[in-house]
């Protein structure tokens, strides 16, 4: 029988409760430093796009830095304008804290802001930043790391409804698809929560679990904790990770699939890809085979899962070509096909609620 690991295992959450963990204080001051290329500022851009009401301003250290279309504010100005956290909106190479940012973070702490970080290193363990936060009573949210205790999965069915976004590969729209579906459900008056499992999703939602940082034995248990018992008509829309045919990341996908116990799934796909990104020789499998595999594995914890749609990342295509492909795939698979950034998600939501 498996033993519980300190810091990772513990009692199951009480029924009906939100996932545990200190919520991030919003709104944000988005820190983009001097980065001028979008490749480094995707975190800030994602939060700006999906949680605009949570963004008070941007802090740029150079006039050439990416402009997010927000007021340029220093930490003290942002705090006076209502900001409560500095969000590090950059993913530096190596995931470490550049030395030149330390003074900036200290300024933010002194101004009264908490700090939200997706860096691989823990800010709480930085000798200068951590000490300053403790002295000032500020919170450091290292969203890639969890100090919460998770149980081993029980497999026991929970009340409420769940949708999980899954993919043919990584980094092709699972988060944006889940966000768009959760927003569409809420717009219709359907009770729904977006459940974040990655760093940017956590920053948008203000809470969640960075699932790739959870010890493997507890991934499914963390997914159970993330989407607890809820009312019969409530939907938890769970952000997917990895891909079931991915040679490196299928494990996290499997844990989420079993722990989420999805009633509904949406397959996310980038039609421009023919191989798993970064893994030559590992082809993208046919969509029908991929969906059948997901359904077979999902039945371990939910006897009746179903696909309710296909979500395309058609950013490499013209809009006319994307619509033509969507029509062809819909005819082939009998499912609504969307691009959440181009077509909307109404047809998929209709199928969910049917």
Together in a domain, 33 and 170: no
| pLDDT tens per residue, range 204-224 | 999 999 998 899 999 999 999
The answer as to whether 9 is a domain residue is no
In a domain, 56, yes or no: yes
> Residue 151 domain-assigned?
no
Question: Is residue 5 pLDDT above 70, yes or no?
Answer: no
Task: Tell me: pLDDT of 9 over 50.
Answer: no
The answer to whether the CB of 124 falls within 8 A of the CB of 130 is yes
pTM over 0.75: yes
Count the Cβ atoms, other than its own, within 10 Å of residue 18.
Answer: 12
Domain that holds residue 85: 28-142
Whether residue 155 is contained in a domain is answered as: no
Torsion of CA 319, 321, 323, 324, to 10 degrees: 170
Do 137 and 181 belong together in one domain? no
Higher pLDDT: 20 or 137? It is 137
Domain shared by 219 and 263, yes or no: yes
What CATH number is attached to the domain comprising 80?
3.40.50.720
- For residues 122 and 172, membership in a common domain is answered with no
Rounded Cα distance, 124 and 64, in Å: 30
272 & 167 share domain: yes
Q: What is the mean pLDDT of the chain?
A: 91
pLDDT in tens, 243-285: 999 999 999 999 999 999 999 999 999 999 999 999 999 999 9
* Domain count for the chain: 2
Q: Give CA–CA dist 110/125, Å, rounded.
A: 18
State the Cα–Cα distance between residues 230 and 313, nearest whole angstrom: 31
pLDDT at 37: 79
């Amino acid at each position: 029988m498996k033993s519980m690991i300190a810091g990772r295992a513990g009692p199951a959450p009480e029924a009906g409760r939100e996932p545990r963990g200190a919520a991030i204080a919003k709104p944000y001051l988005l820190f983009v430093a001097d980065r001028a290329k979008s490749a480094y500022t995707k975190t800030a851009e994602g939060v700006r796009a999906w949680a605009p009401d949570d963004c008070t301003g941007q802090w740029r250290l150079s006039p050439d830095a990416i402009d997010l279309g927000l007021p340029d504010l220093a930490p003290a100005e942002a705090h006076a304008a209502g900001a409560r956290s500095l969000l590090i909106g950059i993913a530096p190479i190596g995931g470490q804290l550049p030395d030149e940012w330390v003074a900036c973070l200290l300024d933010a702490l002194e101004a009264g802001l908490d700090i939200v970080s997706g860096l691989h290193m823990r800010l709480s363990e930085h000798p200068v930043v951590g000490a300053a936060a403790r002295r000032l009573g500020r919170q450091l949210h290292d969203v890639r790391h969890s100090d919460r205790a998770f149980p081993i999965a029980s497999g026991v069915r929970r009340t409420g409804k769940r949708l999980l976004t899954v993919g043919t590969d990584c980094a092709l729209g699972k988060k944006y698809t889940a966000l768009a579906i959760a927003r569409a459900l809420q717009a219709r008056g359907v009770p729904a929560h977006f459940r974040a499992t990655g760093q940017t999703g956590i920053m948008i939602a203000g809470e969640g679990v960075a699932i790739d940082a959870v010890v493997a034995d507890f991934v499914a248990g963390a997914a159970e904790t993330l989407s607890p018992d809820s009312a019969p008509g409530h939907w938890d829309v769970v952000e997917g990770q990895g891909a079931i045919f991915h040679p490196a990341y299928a494990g996290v996908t499997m844990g989420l699939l079993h722990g989420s116990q999805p009633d509904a799934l949406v397959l996310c796909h980038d039609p421009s890809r023919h191989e798993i990104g970064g893994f030559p020789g590992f082809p993208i499998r046919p969509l029908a085979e991929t969906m059948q595999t997901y359904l077979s594995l999902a039945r371990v914890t939910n006897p009746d899962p179903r696909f309710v749609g296909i979500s395309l990342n058609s950013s490499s295509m013209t809009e006319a070509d994307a619509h033509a492909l969507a029509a062809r795939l819909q005819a082939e698979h009998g499912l609504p096909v969307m691009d959440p950034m181009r077509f909307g998600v109404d047809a998929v939501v209709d199928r969910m609620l049917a």
